[in-house]
Structure 1
Amino acid sequence: MAGEFELIDRITEGLTVGDDVVLGVGDDAAVLAPSGNIVVTTDMLIENVHFRRAWSPARAIGRKAVAVNVSDVEAMGARPSAVVVALAFPKDLDQDWVAEFEAGAVEECRRAGVSLVGGDLSSSAHIAITVTAIGDLDGRAAVTRAGARVGDIVAVCGRLGWAGAGLAALQRGFGSPKEVVAEQLTPSVPYGQGVVAARAGATAMLDVSDGLLADLGHIAERSHVLIDVDSMLLEVPDAVQRVAAATGRPALGFVLAGGEDHALAATFPADGALPEGWRRVGSVRDGSGIVVDGAPFDGSLGWDHFAQR
């Protein structure tokens, strides 16, 4: 087993950084040069809570760790800039696993257009990952959850229901449909669309991590409005329908409350055109809470880590 600093050297060899990075890996901290206000977010991924090694190869876990964090930066309407990655793992873990994890993280950084500028390594009984992502608003105001207005339309960009269906398949010991299983292992974040939505006048936005209804409920609560989701506007992919048929669960439930999609959901003024790649799924009305087709949804709204199960 190589020592900590040898591992760090191996992991960081050949890293490239963006123009807004003044000082990257190799010192006590990185130095960035943002052009405006910055956005900062942190997420943890814990073994056997957010991923299982029996299901996910190390590279997929590395990619997912970056993707779910950068998605939060996108949701604020910011341009993703940099990430730092802290990884704790058992001392007897194969170093090739660590190398593959970091390779996946670097790969996703390239996809997201962010620089990996530092992090930390430690030992622990189980694998634990913490990623901090930083974004630059480039002089714009952040798009928060609190700006939705009565009369706005609700739209999404990205895949809904795929990751939840993939998890259901994995839990039953299936490795297919491959497209939804792959989405559970590594979400397809619509990189760049947060800025696109902000420039198009989005009034509120977030990433869909706990389920469409649960997350739109956060916008409804913070904005003091009612959000009505139109089920006829929702796409239910064939792969999701196949998982629903195999598990005896309603296909629409995966789309509405599946969780871990990391699509973006936003509200826009009704008198404007939606950006390309966005699709309408509902409307903002006077009132409070979240409804589907004008009525409360009969089922789980999404994932809650601390709910009694």
Structure 2
Amino acid sequence: MDDPTLHEAGELEALRRILPLLPAGDTTELGPGDDAAVVRAPDGRVVVTTDTMLEGADFRLGWSTWHDLGWKAVATNLIDVAAMGARPTSLVVALAVPPSTHVSSLEDFARGLADAVASMAPGCGVVGGDLGTAPHATIAVTAFGDLGGRAPVLRSGARAGDAVWCVGGLGLAATGLRHLFAQALDAAAEPVRAAAERLRAGADGASIEAQLAPVSPIAAGTLLADLGATAMLDVSDGLALDAARVARASGVRIALDGAAVAGAAPGASLEAALHGGEDHALLVALPAGVRPPAELGGHAVRRIGAVEALAADERPGVTLDGAPLAPRGWDPYRAG
């Protein structure tokens, strides 16, 4: 049987086909096959983050390929490691899917993991995980990183006088999702793969790609840390909401320049750039005298604002061209 389901093949056969596709990392001493992996931690400290992707809430199998899902799992998790100023070293990936899922789909997922690591974080390894069953596909990823002797870059370090920069684009993923909902659902509101593929191949392809298989500036994290970044985070829930998180943690005002934000959002509206989410760009505060390169790892670097001190009775927050900006963005508990 060339393309069995998981029910037909069983776990051992599925793993036999999947595991050889996973990349080994530079710091991996023991990868998949034992009860746990062994990974070297040269710095003596380990940066750890975890995230889930749930079918329905975070992706639709009618729009995303399994390769897309593997790719996106890497892009969305390793950017959090990068935002701490660390180099990604390893991933563990748990995947629960219906037993009717074909083993070839999981092979495509593994290839997506491997291709994304090779493209965005070479040297990082997929060192283990878990395979289980569930009525709907669920992906859980834990990512690890090494600081290489650096201090971690926190959200709480932005200082008055710092410049605020964005590495990567804003608003395009939200624009792609809007196109998919408008043009790739049938009358019963079910995803239509053919329609999604037409969009991906057409004039709106860049925004569809940004939604389904984003490319995040993972390599820029350590470079920005070395430039003296005082605060940094992954823009995953929308610029307005994520900038507000930095402002609150640092006890400052983040003053955004509307024209500069629009310049960081080619192909997207200012509304999408501010509130759309899933950009997986890096928002970073750098000392005023530091000017980063115009591009890092193939991603544009743009100054979009400044960090300002608060008046005695003023609360931390974000402004856009001097006016208060509501911290509105993606909130899974308020979606729908």
Does the 8 Å CA contact 2:170/2:265 hold for their aligned counterparts? no
Q: Among 53, 69, 89, which residue is 2:97 paired with?
A: 89
**Cα displacement (A) at 1:14:** 5.0
Does the 8 Å CA contact 2:21/2:110 hold for their aligned counterparts? no
**Cα displacement (A) at 1:191:** 2.3
Distance, in Å, in 2 between the alignment partners of 1:207 and 1:171 is 25
The residue identity in structure 1 corresponding to 2:302 is R
Are residue 73 (structure 1) and residue 106 (structure 2) matched?
A: no
Secondary structure of the corresponding residue to residue 63 of structure 1: helix
Counterpart residue number, 1:200? 227
Are residue 99 (structure 1) and residue 126 (structure 2) matched?
A: no
Does the 8 Å CA contact 1:196/1:275 hold for their aligned counterparts? no
- For 1:1-309, what aligned pairs fall within 5 Å after superposition? 1-13=8-20, 15-36=22-43, 37-111=45-119, 112-113=121-122, 114-173=124-183, 175=199, 176=202, 177-234=204-261, 235=263, 239-240=267-268, 251-277=269-295, 278-287=301-310, 288-297=316-325, 301-307=328-334
Secondary structure of the corresponding residue to residue 80 of structure 1: strand
The residue identity in structure 2 corresponding to 1:267 is A
Does the 8 Å CA contact 1:145/1:204 hold for their aligned counterparts? yes
**Cα displacement (A) at 1:237:** 5.1
The residue identity in structure 2 corresponding to 1:17 is A
Secondary structure of the corresponding residue to residue 145 of structure 2: strand
Distance, in Å, in 2 between the alignment partners of 1:301 and 1:43 is 21
Distance, in Å, in 1 between the alignment partners of 2:171 and 2:91 is 27
**Cα displacement (A) at 1:15:** 3.9
Does the 8 Å CA contact 2:243/2:254 hold for their aligned counterparts? yes
In the superposition, the TM-score normalised over structure 1's length comes to: 0.93
Does the 8 Å CA contact 2:265/2:273 hold for their aligned counterparts? no
The residue identity in structure 2 corresponding to 1:293 is D
**Cα displacement (A) at 1:297:** 2.8
Counterpart residue number, 1:244? none
The residue identity in structure 1 corresponding to 2:308 is R
> Which segments of 5 or more consecutive residues in structure 1 lack a partner in the other structure?
241-250
**Cα displacement (A) at 1:22:** 1.0
Moved more, 114-123 or 3-12: 3-12
> Which segments of 5 or more consecutive residues in structure 2 lack a partner in the other structure?
1-7, 185-198, 296-300, 311-315
The residue identity in structure 1 corresponding to 2:95 is L
The residue identity in structure 2 corresponding to 1:147 is G
Secondary structure of the corresponding residue to residue 244 of structure 2: helix
Give CA-to-partner distance per residue, 1:114-133, whole Å, 9 cap, x none.
Answer: 11100100001100000111
**Cα displacement (A) at 1:91:** 0.8
Paired residues, number = 298
Moved more, 90-99 or 20-29: 90-99
The residue identity in structure 1 corresponding to 2:267 is A
Kindly tell me: are residues 216 and 236 of structure 1, through their superposed partners in 2, closer, same or farther at Cα, counting changes over 3 Å? closer
The residue identity in structure 2 corresponding to 1:260 is E
**Cα displacement (A) at 1:308:** 6.4
Does the 8 Å CA contact 1:200/1:275 hold for their aligned counterparts? no
Kindly tell me: are residues 252 and 107 of structure 1, through their superposed partners in 2, closer, same or farther at Cα, counting changes over 3 Å? same
Does the 8 Å CA contact 1:190/1:263 hold for their aligned counterparts? yes
The residue identity in structure 2 corresponding to 1:140 is R
**Identity rate of aligned residues, in percent?**
43
**Cα displacement (A) at 1:16:** 4.0
Does the 8 Å CA contact 1:158/1:263 hold for their aligned counterparts? yes
Distance, in Å, in 1 between the alignment partners of 2:23 and 2:212 is 26
**Cα displacement (A) at 1:224:** 0.5
The residue identity in structure 2 corresponding to 1:12 is L
**Cα displacement (A) at 1:306:** 1.1
**Cα displacement (A) at 1:274:** 2.1
Secondary structure of the corresponding residue to residue 88 of structure 1: strand
**Cα displacement (A) at 1:189:** 0.4
Moved more, 139-148 or 96-105: 96-105
Does the 8 Å CA contact 1:77/1:195 hold for their aligned counterparts? yes
In the superposition, the TM-score normalised over structure 2's length comes to: 0.85
**Cα displacement (A) at 1:100:** 1.1
